[in-house]
Structure 1
Amino acid sequence: MARECIEKYLAEHTSKYIGKYRCHSSVQTKKFEHKFRYYILDSQFRDINVFLTIDYSGEEIIPTFSVELHEQEQEYIIKDALNKIIYDSHYKTILHCHIIAHFIETHQKETLLEPLDYRNILDYLEYHNGTNQETVDQFYSFLMPYLNRLIYNKNYKKFMDSITLLLDKILYEYEWDGTTAKYLDTQYQYHLYYFREIIRIVYANLDKFYKETKEQLLEAIWRLCKLQRFAFAIMTDFGSLVLSHYHITLDIFHYINKRAKDEHYQSIVLPYMEAIFNSDDEAFKDACKDVIRFVMNDMLTFANHDLQIAIGNSIVLDVGYQLLIDLFSQDYNTFVFVCFPISTFPEEYRCTIKKELEKAIRFYAARMEHDEYRLTSFEQVANINRLLMENYREDYRSE
């Protein structure tokens, strides 16, 4: 009856409208009742929460909102919530909604639950305590012992089910518009440390995972590749996993390339790993340049970009500062030295950078003779002059 009720509502309320609110978390309060927390960020990047109680015990869906929204937005939220309920119904659960609080409070690590139960614990914690590092740390105090027990019991299917459900929860990136900049809303940064640990567990048992859960494993790797910021933030361990077994690596590349082609998706992750796998130095440098371009774009677009700075710095430390100079020589984009200030370069690169800047200013000065390039060239000339004066003032005085 409950599923029929949900499917009936979804069939009767079809719309192409995409709502503004995004699901934060949910808890089940009765057998056929869920509470959902949805939110948006305002122009100052402050949370605005809306709570939905949805009863699907009868013949009709009974939704109750904490605040009134316009009809289309309410319908979008209801349908999104119902689809989540249907999706979760495909997984077994043994932790009753009435005892989840007691289970968390007593911290019964020795009790083995089902994969969905652990995802529900994360939802419960976030619903009541918000999304923060403390909440995530508490969640993993339940999940990590469970995953280790699954490895001990050789239950690789439930392990991958747990990871799939976790990825469903945390793999998102929402862009919110502010007054002067955008905000990239993510949750996965709180999970970086633990995902490295999870990847190491899979790495140590990769042949077994590949044999018993091949499709789930490949799908999880593809999903990580699609969230490029997340993938590069865990690249040391993620890359080791992907590149560790020759024949498995070939299958992974084949799967990712096929999915990328089918979905018309351009990834900077795959060329980076393929270049390492093929020991192709030139392709690797080109892939690293694409990563730096990606990082620079984020730094110029989003108000919050600490993770991207860390990714860019790790690439530079790995490949060397010459990469940034080569990138500037190729693109003549002064934002290279805005995002990676000249003052942070080792002393031996200063002279080379100065020569490249002077070459670039001559290039843009020549382009200013053409009307279609005049404004952009003038901006670049001004930027280069500023960089030269800020970093080489004493050199010009001595000349």
Structure 2
Amino acid sequence: MVKTKIKDYLTKNKSSYIGHYRLHGSVKTNAFEYKFRYYTRDQQFREISVYLTIDCSNDEINHTFSVRLNNEEEKYILKDALETICLFEDHKTILHSHILEVYIRSKSELQFLEPQDYRNILDYLEYHKGVNEEVIEEFYGFFMPYIRYLLKIGSYHKLFGSMELLLDRIVYEYEWDGASSKFLDRQYQLHMPYIYQILKSLIEKLDDLKKSNSEELVELFQHIFSCERFSLLLVTNYQLPEDLDKRFLEFFGQALESLQNQKSLAVRYVLSMYQEEDNQEVAFDILRFVMEDILVFANHQVERSIGDRIIEEKGYNFIIRLFTRDYNTFVFVCFPISSFPEKYHTIIRLELETAIRYYAARMDHDRYRLSSFEQVANINRLLLENYKEYYKNGKE
């Protein structure tokens, strides 16, 4: 009944406008009432929330915003919220709205719930408390016992359904423009330690899964690899023990090869191990990708951790080799010279001095003057910041 009413409303009120607010969380308070929390960010990336209540108990859909927004923005939020309700109604649940809050407060670990129930628990927590480490930890206090139970009884189909619903909720990226940089909203990095443990447990059950659920397992990993930063964080920072890694590569190598055309860096990185090839080129490309994000986004902890893992694998000399290839001096903005061991400092200084002569010569050409000037200015800053004492002593 509710779903039919919503579909009729959406059919009559079509709009292609894309608003500025994004969903933070939601809760169903009774059979016909739903509450949503949406948010945006200002120029200083501070969060601004707006609350929406939708009542579907009458012939008409009634809605109330906590603050007045412009007409187009309100229509966009309402449309998005109604589409979310349709997703609610598509899945079976055990925890009805009037007992969800009681269940969460009781810290119960009942294991007979449905996948949508856990999605609703996460939505409820984020609606009331936002997105933070404490909320994520509280959510997995419910979700991990459920996953362990499904693994124990071999209910893999329900497990994969739960994971797909979770990934649909947490794997997103929203860009916000600030005065001088951008902010990339995401929450999957907070879930990553738990996601890794679940995937590790699944690979431990690989022999059982190959018999009946191999397609669902492949689809799950394809879902993961559809998000570049999410999958890069997983494959670089959360590596499997050697015995499981070998089994994973043997099983997923062929499946991942089908994704090669997507030019995914994470897929290329894993395939280089599966095909036992030198992954130097893909490692260079990962660092270039990471550098671009570090220079653009004010919050780049995820990218930093990916880059640090590549450095740990390849060594600091690998960064210097990237610089000599690209002559992009911003590599030392993303990976500061001060973070390099002392033995590399002279090598870097000599490379920077060579680079400044190269870019100085290019400035004679109109086509390269502006980009060369930017590089020269950056080299001068790097040399003054990191080798001040050296040049103070009259060295050239």
Question: Structure 1 length as normaliser, TM-score?
Answer: 0.92
SS in 2 for 1:30: coil
Cα distance between partner residues in 2 of 1:362 and 1:193: 46
Cα distance between partner residues in 1 of 2:358 and 2:366: 15
Cα distance between partner residues in 2 of 1:237 and 1:253: 19
Distance 1:32 1:364, change over 3 A: same
SS in 1 for 2:27: strand
Aligned to 2:38: 38
Aligned to 1:244: 247
Contact 2:235 2:266 in 1 (8 A): no
Cα distance between partner residues in 2 of 1:332 and 1:249: 37
The farther-off stretch of 362-371 and 138-147 is 362-371
Aligned to 1:253: 256
Cα distance between partner residues in 1 of 2:209 and 2:33: 36
**Equivalent position to 1:276, from 273, 276, 295:** 273
Return structure 1 stretches of 4+ with deviation > 6 angstroms.
none
Deviation at residue 220 of structure 1 after TM alignment: 2.6
**Equivalent position to 2:334, from 330, 339, 350:** 339
Contact 1:239 1:273 in 2 (8 A): no
SS in 1 for 2:319: helix
Question: Structure 2 matches for 1:1-399, cutoff 5 A?
Answer: 1-235=1-235, 240=240, 244-257=247-260, 260=262, 266-281=263-278, 284-396=279-391, 397=393, 399=395
Contact 1:334 1:384 in 2 (8 A): yes
Cα distance between partner residues in 2 of 1:193 and 1:59: 46
Deviations 1:36-90 (A, max 9, x none): 1111111121221111111223433222222222222112111211211222322
Contact 1:200 1:237 in 2 (8 A): no
Deviation at residue 168 of structure 1 after TM alignment: 1.3
Deviations 1:247-283 (A, max 9, x none): 522332144236x3xxxxx4221111111222221xx
Cα distance between partner residues in 2 of 1:30 and 1:393: 67
Cα distance between partner residues in 2 of 1:300 and 1:279: 32
Deviation at residue 210 of structure 1 after TM alignment: 4.4
Alpha-carbon RMSD across the aligned residues, in angstroms, is 2.1
Distance 1:398 1:74, change over 3 A: closer
Cα distance between partner residues in 1 of 2:26 and 2:270: 37
Deviation at residue 339 of structure 1 after TM alignment: 1.3
Contact 1:242 1:252 in 2 (8 A): no
Gaps of 5+ in 2: none
The farther-off stretch of 346-355 and 77-86 is 346-355
Cα distance between partner residues in 2 of 1:157 and 1:390: 57
The farther-off stretch of 379-388 and 70-79 is 379-388
Contact 2:323 2:329 in 1 (8 A): yes
Contact 1:243 1:249 in 2 (8 A): no
Cα distance between partner residues in 1 of 2:164 and 2:210: 15
Code of the residue aligned with 1:320 in structure 2: it is G
Cα distance between partner residues in 2 of 1:223 and 1:239: 18
Between Structure 1 and Structure 2, how many residues are aligned? Answer: 391
Deviation at residue 295 of structure 1 after TM alignment: 1.4
The farther-off stretch of 139-148 and 47-56 is 47-56
The farther-off stretch of 160-169 and 226-235 is 226-235
Aligned to 1:263: none
Distance 1:275 1:38, change over 3 A: same
Distance 1:247 1:305, change over 3 A: closer
Code of the residue aligned with 1:148 in structure 2: it is R
Cα distance between partner residues in 2 of 1:357 and 1:377: 13
Deviations 1:157-189 (A, max 9, x none): 111111111111111111111122211111112
Cα distance between partner residues in 2 of 1:67 and 1:318: 51
Deviation at residue 229 of structure 1 after TM alignment: 2.4
Code of the residue aligned with 1:233 in structure 2: it is L
Cα distance between partner residues in 1 of 2:177 and 2:191: 25
Question: Structure 2 length as normaliser, TM-score?
Answer: 0.92
Contact 1:181 1:303 in 2 (8 A): yes
Deviation at residue 246 of structure 1 after TM alignment: 4.9
Distance 1:246 1:333, change over 3 A: closer
Q: Identity over aligned residues, as a percent?
A: 48
Distance 1:288 1:237, change over 3 A: closer
SS in 2 for 1:51: strand
Code of the residue aligned with 1:273 in structure 2: it is V
